[in-house]
Each structure stands twice: as structure tokens, then as C-alpha cells.
Amino acid sequence: MHRLTIHMIVFVSVSACLVFFWLLYGGSEAGLADVASEPTRARELGFWPVWVIAPWATVLIIHGGITATNAGRRVLAAEPEPERRDLVEEGMRKTAEVAGGLLDAVVERGTAAIAPDPDEAPSVTTGVGDSRWVAVMFTDIANSTALTEELGDTSWHKILTRHRDVVRRCIDDHHGDEVATQGDGFFIRHDGVGDAVACAVAIQKNLGKRKNRDLPDLRIGIHAGEVVQDHDGDLMGKVINVAARVTDAAGPGEILVTESVADNAPPEVTLVDGGLRELKGVAQPRHVLRVDW
């Protein structure tokens, strides 16, 4: 039992420290709440402590099961008095309460710490990857499901191929990086807001010139801020989630951006106020603006 107690305290302490560092370098209370309610979204939200906490928790559960079994055998063998059983159960309950309280205290302290603003903080280097300020853009074909059903697989594949060619040329022309393709959409990164907005405008204009070739309308969303790039090149952080949700809020042919993009956009970019929007999975409403391209 003594070893299990030590194991539990060490697990809680290390887990709390990992959560603290995640909050300090790009995490958020909203993201932590999302992970707690939907653990399967840990990778999407960039909650890297899960790769340590989950396997260790499994080992701790196994340790606890073995300890409980052995303790039960010893209790049955010794036939302790009822008072002794009560003392053992009370000790286990208090140990669990102390460990849980320790985790809550450290998480609360990490949340209250002065952490860098993900939209404004300078880049730093952490043990899990490099934190850097980027502009994140998502594209999405409007009404793609209906178009697929209407045109059939063969025609849709030809249209999608032409569409991707247009987008990729614009990405190359404006110094962007294609992080991934997701179905009929793109996940794109730029080091500067100006290049990201110029790329989005170029994409919409080039698609507009090809309406006679039946290319579909596109929705584009852009957000800027701090992300963590791990050693495999993957990007993590709530900036990515916000950018995806801004794209969901855009209409066909629109380019929607957040305030962090608008604040750093070149003066020649014309923006139209879109007001506060409720974005799915984002704790607070976001002020969005439409690029008048």
C-alpha cells in the first residue's frame, strides 16, 4: 500500500506539471475543458501531455489492482477486526483525496500563471517543439456533398483535380506551405499575414475566372497566432482549431479573418466588419471580418 501511495503521488505530481507546462506554452482553459469532456480530441487540440498521462494511468490502475488483491488476501488471512478494516479504508480514501487535491491545486496555479498570449507572444523553444507565430488558413468547397451526388464520382474527381491545381499554384506564388489536404479542403500555413491574405485573394480570383469550367465556390478562413511545431513537423495549438471554425462560418466565395489577422494585414487590404460570431468548440465569441476581394 505504501508503494502504491508513493506511485499515486508521483503520478499526480508529474501529470499536474505536464498540464501546467501545456497551459503555459499555448494551452487554454477552454482546451483543457474540451479534453476533459472529449478525451478523443486530445490530438486535435494539441494536448501533448496525454501521451505520458494515459499510459502511466494504465500502469497505475494495474498497480492498484495488484495491491488491492494482495491486501485483500492478507486481510482475509489475518481476519482483522472490523475497526482495522475501517482504518485501512479511511487511509485509502484520505490518500486519494490528498492526491486529487494536489492535482487540482497545481492545475489552478498553472491556469492563473501569466502565460503568453497565443496571438501576441514571441516565439520560444520548449522541450516538445518550437513555438512560432504563423498565419493558419483553411479552405473548404461549399456544398461539396451535394455536388458530389449531382455530378458523380468521375466528374467530381476531374473538377477536384483542377481545383487543387489552382490552389497549389497560389500557395507556391505566395510563399505558403501546404500542411495537409482534408477531403476537398486545404490546411495552409504562412509565416506572414500579408502573404496569407494575398494567397486567399488569389485563390478566389483564379477560381472566379474559371466559372465557365464549373469550378465550385470556396470558403476560406484565416487566423494568426502561436502554434507549436513538433519535431515531425506537425502543428499543434488552439490557433488551428479557431482557423478551422472561422472557415466553417464563411459563406461561399468568402474570406473570413479574425482580429489578429486584421491587425497585421497590409493597408491595401479592404476589410468589412462581420461582428462577433459564435464558433463551434471555441469558448468565447470571436470578432471576424470579411476580406473584400
Specify the CATH number for the domain of residue 203: 3.30.70.1230
Residue with cell 486519494: 96
Domain containing 284 equals 130-291
* Per-residue pLDDT tens digits for 109-130: 444 443 444 444 444 444 456 7
Strand 130-141 relative to strand 218-229, pairing: antiparallel
Inside any domain, residue 119: no
- In angstroms, the CA 191 to CA 134 distance is 5
Give domain status of residue 125, yes or no. Answer: no
pLDDT, residue 54, reads: 79
CA atoms within 13 A on the CB side of 283: 10
**For residue 224, is pLDDT > 90?**
yes
Look at the chain and report how many structural domains it folds into.
2
Measured in whole angstroms, how far is the alpha carbon of residue 76 from the centre of its chain? 50
24-38, 44-58, 157-171, 205-219: which is most confident? 157-171
Q: What pLDDT is recorded for position 191?
A: 92
Q: What pLDDT, on a 0 to 100 scale, did the predictor assign at position 115? A: 43
Q: Which of 81, 112, 143 is the endpoint of a domain? A: 112
- Measured CA to CA, the distance from residue 278 to residue 114 in angstroms comes to 26
On whether both 274 and 232 belong to a single domain, the answer is: yes
Mean pLDDT of the chain: 78
| Low-confidence winner among 12-21, 136-145, 185-194, 246-255 (lowest mean pLDDT) | 12-21
Looking at per-residue pLDDT, the higher value among 4 and 255 belongs to 255
Give the mean pLDDT of 4-32: 76
Could you give the dihedral angle defined by the CA atoms of residues 77, 82, 84 and 88, in that order, rounded to the nearest 10 degrees? Answer: 90
Angle at 249 between CA 279 and CA 241, to 5 degrees: 50
- Whether 211 has a pLDDT exceeding 70, the answer reads no
Same domain for 22 and 81, yes or no, is yes
Predicted TM-score (pTM) of this structure:
0.55
For the segment 214-233, the average pLDDT, to the nearest whole number, is 84
Kindly indicate the confidence band of residue 11, based on its pLDDT and cuts at 50, 70 and 90. Answer: confident
Q: Say which amino acid occupies 75.
A: V
pLDDT above 70 as % of the chain: 74
124 is a domain residue: no
Q: H or E element: which one contains 5? A: helix 2-24
Taking CA atoms, 68 is separated from 13, 30, 61, 210, in Å, by 22, 36, 10, 70
* 204 & 138 share domain: yes
Strands 218-229 and 255-258 come out as: parallel
Nearest to 252 by CA among 144, 177, 174: 144
89 or 146: whose pLDDT is higher? Answer: 146
